[in-house]
Structures are given as structure tokens and as C-alpha cells.
Amino acid sequence: MYQFPTSIRAAGACLILIAGFIQTVRADEPKAPTGQELAFDNRKGNCLACHAMPGDSKAVTNTNIAPPLISMKERFPDRAKLYAQLWDASKANADSLMPPFGKHKILSDDEINKVVDYIYGL
């Protein structure tokens, strides 16, 4: 078995340490939130403030202000209509209490799409 000289072992160890350090740094980057996380986050969608989601056991709320989010695919066969509702609900109902998540840039287009995807599963 060939024995590496100490200096090469030391150098090799340094390389491994540095590689490990770089890996740790890169792993600290935050993961993008899921549609469910965006929906639940009270600084983002905060959907649970107004909408019950009987289909998701993690959705804890007492609200009754707005329609519960169930059978969403049946109620919104056209995905664009659901997107539009999140973008600016006052278009469909002038007195709607639902914040215009897209028009007022509360959520980005990407975030709205993620929430729509999540809601479609309810």
C-alpha cells in the first residue's frame, strides 16, 4: 500500500476542509417557500384569515368570512380565472374584502402561481 507523504496528506486534508466549507455556505441559502407555506404565512397570503381549507389537516382557522377552499378544480376549471381572482378579487365583486395580491404586489407573479397550484389541490 503506497503511503502518501505527510505533506500530501496535509494538503489533501486542507482541500477537503475547504470543499466542506464551501458546501456549508451554499447550503445556508434559504429554500423558496412552497405554495402552502405562502398561503399560511400571515405576512404573505394569510389565506387562513378568511378561508377555511377543510381538505388540508394543517389548515387551522375559525374563520367564516369567505367561501371555504374546497373542490377548487371544479369551481375554477379555467386556471386563469383563479389566477385573476387572486390578482384582483374586486374585479368580480367590487366590495370584496380580499386583498388584491397581484395588483398591489403583495405577492409576486411567481408566488401567486405557487399558491394557485396549492389551492388547486384542495
Per CB under 8 A, residues contacting other proteins are 5, 7-8, 11-12, 14-15, 18, 21-22, 48-50, 61-65, 90, 94-95, 97, 99-100, 103-106
Longest CA–CA span in the chain (Å) reads 81
Between 3 and 77, CB nearer to other proteins: 3
Which is closer to other proteins, CB of 15 or CB of 117? 15
Nearer to other proteins, 41 or 120 (CB): 41
What is the nearest approach in angstroms of other proteins to the Cβ of residue 66? 9
Kindly state the smallest distance separating residue 106's Cβ from other proteins, in Å.
6
Closer residue to other proteins, CB minimum distance, 78 or 95: 95
CB distance 101 to 54 below 8 Å: no
Q: How far is the C-alpha of 21 from the C-alpha of 73, rounded, in Å?
A: 46
Which residue's entry shows cell 476542509? 17
Spatial neighbors of 91 by CB under 8 A, at least 6 apart, are: 84
- Per the structure block, which three cell numbers stand in for 60? 387551522
Cell reading at 14: 486542507
The distance of closest approach from Cβ of residue 79 to other proteins in the complex, given in angstroms and rounded to an integer, is 24
